[in-house]
C-alpha cells in the first residue's frame, strides 16, 4: 500500500530530531525540517505520483539529494539514513523533543545521565525527583517536564488543525474522483475549526454509495478497515486517526450536516427549540407528526425553527443561538478580507526563505503589504538581529520596495520584551521601523503579577505596537504563561496597541476565548502568520479560523485595511 505524505514527513522530522540531539550541523537539521514541512503540506499524494511514473514533485527547499531520499522512502518504505542514525541514538528520543522545554541538549543529558529512552521513562524520573539534580535543570524544570508529559498523554492521538487539514484535503480529493459524488464535506470539530481534532467525520451524497465506499477503504493511508457498509464505513489511518464516512440521501443532507457538525451542546439546544415548535430534528431530517419536511440545506433546517444560519465556527452554544434568533449574528472576518500579513521571518534570523521570496509569496496572494519581523538579538537561538544588522535590513527593504510593483514590504521587527519590561533594541533604532511586534520568549515562568507588569511596562514604550502571540502557549507542548490577559487588553486599548492572533499552526494564540474577550473590550487585533517560509504565508487561514471562533469581524482586525489606513491605525496616539 503506498506510503502517505504524513509518514514521509514524520521520517524527516524524526531524523532532524535525532541529528539535533547528536549536535549535527544546524543547517543540515533545518534542511530535513524544511523537507518535512514541504512534504506534509503538499496537496497530492507523492507516492501515488511516483507510482504513476512521475518524478518527485519540486518542493520548496528540496533539492536532488532530498528528492532522492523521498523516492527511496516511497519505493521501500524506509529511510536508510534514519536507520543508520537510530543505531547510534535511540529513535524514541525523538518523542522527548515534543515536551516543552526539552531541546536537543537536555534530551541528550537525560539519555546519558539517567538512561531515559521514552516518555514513560521521563515521567517516572520526574515523578521520582531524579531530574532536578541534573546540571541545567532544577525543581521548576522538573515540574514543567512532568506537566508537559501530562499534556502529551492527554492530547493522545488528537491532531492539530493544520495536520488534520492536510489529511482531510487529501482524503476529499481522493473521494471526489468517484463519478456521481454530489456533496462531500468534512464535518465535526474539523468543520467547526477547533484547534485540535480527534477524528474526521466525512459526509457525502452520491448517486451510488458503493463505488465511494470502495474507494474510501482503499485510500493509501488506511491501516485498518474497522467497518464497511452501504451508508457508513470507518477506517483507521496509519497515523492512528479514525475517519468515518457517511453517505446520506440528498433530502437528508442539510439535517445530517447540522447534526454531524455539532457541537453536541449546540445540537441539543437546536433540538429543544424544535420540540417547542412541534418538530423532531435528527440526522435524518426535520419531522412534523412523523412526516419529513423539506430541509435539503442547513439554512432550511435553521429557518424551520426561526433561526438564521449559524456559521460552523460559532456552534458551541455560547450565545450563538440567541444571536441567531434575534438577528444579531456577527459578519465574521474572512480570509479574503485581509490586505496583508504583519508578521513573518526571513533567512536574516530563523526563517527559511529570502526577503525577496517572502515578498513574492505575499504578492501572489494579492496582498498590498507584508511586514518582515525578524527576531532581535536577545533570541540568540534564532540568530536575532542586533542594531547594525537590523539597520542594514531596513536599507535592503527600502531598495526592494523601489523595485516592487503593487506590494509594499513594511519594516518591522519581532522585538523581545526583556524581563524588566524594556525592549531589546533602543528607541533610536525602533523609530526607524514602520511598527513593531513585541513578544515574550524568555522568563515564561514568572508569576502572573510580574509577567503582567513586565508586559504593561513594555507597552508604555511609544514604539510598542503589537503584542505578539500574547499568551506564549504552544498547543500540546507548552501552557500559556501566567498573565492577567484582561488587564493587558484594557491597557492595550488605552494605549492604542494591538494584540496578535497568531496563525502559526503550533500557536493559534490568542485562543478563541481570548479573541472574543478582545472584541468585547474593543481591542484591535492583527491576524498574522509568523511565517518562517514563503509557503507558510498560506497558514493565514488558521488565524482567520481562530478569530471567527472568537466572533471577530473584519472591523476588529487592523490588517483588513488598505495600507494608508493601516498606518493611521498603528500610529500610537
The model's pLDDT over 83-140, given as tens digits with 9 standing for 90+, comes to: 999 999 888 888 888 786 788 888 989 988 999 988 889 989 988 999 999 988 888 8
Least-confidence region, from 212-216, 315-319, 479-483:
479-483
Mean pLDDT on 430-439: 98
| Residues 168-183: tens digit of each pLDDT | 998 999 999 999 999 9
Distance CA 534, CA 314 (A): 31
Domain boundary pick from 247, 265, 293: 247
The pLDDT-based confidence of 231 (bands split at 50, 70, 90) is very high
- DSSP secondary structure code for residue 224 in this structure: E
Say whether both 269 and 377 belong to one domain.
no
Please state, in angstroms and as integers, the Cα–Cα distance from residue 263 to each residue in 158, 188, 321, 545, following that order.
17, 7, 12, 16
Q: What CATH number does the domain containing 546 carry?
A: 3.20.20.140
Put residue 138 in one of left, alpha, beta given phi > 0 → left and psi -120 to 50 → alpha.
left
Q: What is the pLDDT of residues 182-215, one digit of tens each?
A: 999 999 999 999 999 999 999 999 999 999 999 9
- Claim to verify: residue 383 and residue 504 sit in the same structural domain: yes
Verify that 285 and 356 share a domain, yes or no: no
What pLDDT is stored for residue 295 in this prediction?
81
Nearest to 7 by CA among 222, 233, 235, 227: 222
Mean pLDDT of the residues in the chain: 92
- What is the count of structural domains for the chain? 4
* Measured distance CA(571)–CA(373) in Å, rounded: 17
Q: Does one domain contain both 369 and 459?
A: yes
**Per-residue pLDDT, 462:** 96
CA pair distance 105, 340, nearest whole angstrom: 38
* Residue 450 to residue 378: CA distance in whole angstroms: 20
Look at residue 105 and tell me if it is in a domain: no
pLDDT band at 154 (very low <50, low <70, confident <90, very high): low
- Domain holding 209: CATH number? 3.30.460.10
Cis previous bond, 447, omega within 30: no
How far is 503 from 469, CA to CA, in rounded Å? 9
318 and 341 part of one domain: no
Q: CB of 195 within 8 A of CB of 161? A: yes
The pLDDT, as a whole number, for residue 155 is 64
Q: Stretch 477-503: mean pLDDT, rounded?
A: 94
Q: Write down the pLDDT at residue 517.
A: 97
pLDDT of residue 371: 98
Summarised one tens digit per residue, pLDDT across range 276-294 is 999 999 999 999 999 998 8
Residues 386 and 499 in one domain: yes
Within 13 Å and on the Cβ side, how many CA atoms surround 499?
A: 33
CA 263 to chain centre: 21
Q: Which of 139, 109, 114 is nearest to 124 (CA)?
A: 114
d(CA 411, CA 406): 16
Q: Binning pLDDT at 50, 70 and 90, where does residue 10 land?
A: confident
Identify the domain containing residue 203 by its residue range.
159-247
Q: What is the mean pLDDT of residues 336-346?
A: 97
The Cβ of residue 516 has, within 10 Å, a number of other Cβ atoms equal to: 18
pLDDT given at position 156: 61
pLDDT value at position 568?
96
Q: Which residue has the higher pLDDT, 195 or 144?
A: 195
**Cα gap 533→158, rounded to integer Å:** 26
Q: Residue range 504-508: average pLDDT?
A: 94
**Domain C-terminal end among 223, 247, 271:** 247
Share of the chain above pLDDT 90, in %: 70
Question: Which helix or strand (DSSP H or E) is residue 304 part of?
Answer: helix 298-304
Asked if residue 97 belongs to a domain, the reply is no
- Arithmetic mean of pLDDT, 474-486: 89
pLDDT tens digits, residue range 380-422?
A: 888 899 999 999 999 999 999 999 999 999 999 999 999 999 9
Amino acid at each position: 500500500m503506498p506510503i502517505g505524505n504524513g509518514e514521509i514527513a514524520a521520517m524527516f522530522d524524526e531524523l532532524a530530531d535525532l541529528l539535533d540531539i547528536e549536535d549535527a550541523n544546524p543547517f543540515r537539521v533545518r534542511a530535513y525540517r524544511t523537507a518535512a514541512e514541504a512534504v506534509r503540506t503538499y496537496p497530492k499524494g507523492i507516492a501515488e505520483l511516483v507510482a504513476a511514473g512521475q518524478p518527485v514533485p519540486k518542493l520548496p527547499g528540496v533539492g536532488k539529494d532530498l528528492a532522492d531520499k523521498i523516492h527511496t522512502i516511497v519505493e521501500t518504505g524506509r529511510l536508510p539514513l534514519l536507520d543508520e542514525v537510530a543505531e547510534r541514538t535511540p529513535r524514541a528520543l525523538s518523542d522527548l523533543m515534543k515536551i516543552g522545554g526539552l531541546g536537543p541538549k537536555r534530551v541528550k543529558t537525560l539519555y546519558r545521565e539517567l538512561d531515559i529512552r521514552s516518555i514513560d521513562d521521563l515521567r517516572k524520573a520526574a515523578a521520582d525527583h531524579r531530574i532536578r539534580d541534573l546540571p541545567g535543570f532544577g525543581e521548576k524544570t522538573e515540574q514543567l517536564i512532568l506537566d508537559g508529559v501530562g499534556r502529551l498523554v492527554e492530547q493522545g492521538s488528537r491532531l492539530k488543525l493544520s495536520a488534520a487539514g492536510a489529511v482531510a484535503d487529501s482524503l476529499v480529493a481522493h473521494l471526489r474522483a468517484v463519478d456521481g459524488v454530489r456533496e462531500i464535506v468534512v464535518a465535526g470539530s474539523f468543520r467547526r475549526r477547533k484547534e485540535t481534532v480527534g477524528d474526521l467525520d466525512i459526509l457525502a451524497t452520491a448517486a451510488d454509495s458503493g463505488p465511494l465506499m470502495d474507494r474510501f477503504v482503499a485510500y493509501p493511508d488506511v491501516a485498518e478497515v474497522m467497518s464497511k457498509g452501504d451508508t457508513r464505513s470507518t477506517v483507521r489511518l496509519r497515523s492512528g486517526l479514525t475517519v468515518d464516512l457517511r453517505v446520506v440521501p440528498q433530502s437528508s443532507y442539510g439535517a445530517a450536516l447540522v447534526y454531524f457538525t455539532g457541537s453536541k451542546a449546540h445540537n441539543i439546544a437546536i433540538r429543544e427549540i424544535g420540540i417547542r415548535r412541534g418538530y423532531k430534528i435528527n440526522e435524518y431530517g426535520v419531522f412534523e407528526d412523523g412526516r419529513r419536511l423539506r430541509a435539503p440545506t442547513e439554512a432550511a433546517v435553521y429557518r424551520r425553527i426561526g433561526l438564521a444560519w449559524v456559521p460552523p465556527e460559532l456552534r458551541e452554544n455560547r450565545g450563538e443561538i440567541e444571536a441567531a434568533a434575534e438577528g444579531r449574528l456577527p459578519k465574521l472576518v474572512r480570509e479574503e478580507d485581509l490586505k496583508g500579513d504583519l508578521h513573518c521571518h526571513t533567512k536574516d534570523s530563523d526563517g527559511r526563505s529570502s526577503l525577496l521570496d517572502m515578498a513574492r509569496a505575499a504578492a501572489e496572494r494579492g496582498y498590498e503589504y507584508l511586514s518582515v519581523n525578524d527576531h532581535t538579538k536577545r533570541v540568540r537561538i534564532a540568530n536575532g538581529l542586533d542594531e547594525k544588522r537590523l539597520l542594514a535590513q531596513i536599507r535592503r527593504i527600502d531598495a526592494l520596495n523601489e523595485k516592487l510593483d503593487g506590494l509594499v514590504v513594511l519594516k518591522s521587527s519581532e522585538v523581545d520584551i526583556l524581563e524588566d519590561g524594556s525592549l531589546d533594541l533602543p528607541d533610536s533604532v525602533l523609530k526607524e521601523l514602520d511598527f513593531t511586534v513585541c513578544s515574550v520568549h524568555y522568563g515564561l515562568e514568572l508569576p502572573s503579577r510580574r509577567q503582567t507588569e513586565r508586559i504593561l511596562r513594555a507597552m508604555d514604550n511609544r514604539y510598542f505596537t503589537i503584542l505578539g502571540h500574547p499568551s506564549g502557549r504552544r498547543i500540546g507542548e507548552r501552557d500559556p504563561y501566567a498573565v492577567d490577559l484582561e488587564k493587558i487588553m484594557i491597557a492595550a486599548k488605552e494605549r492604542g496597541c494591538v494584540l496578535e492572533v497568531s496563525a502559526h499552526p503550533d500557536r493559534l494564540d490568542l485562543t478563541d476565548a481570548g479573541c472574543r474577550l478582545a472584541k468585547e473590550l474593543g481591542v484591535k487585533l492583527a491576524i498574522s502568520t509568523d511565517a518562517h517560509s514563503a509557503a507558510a504565508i498560506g497558514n493565514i487561514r488558521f488565524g482567520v479560523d481562530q478569530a471567527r471562533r472568537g466572533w471577530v469581524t473584519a472591523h476588529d482586525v487592523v490588517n483588513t485595511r488598505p495600507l494608508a489606513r493601516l498606518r493611521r491605525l498603528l500610529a500610537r496616539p
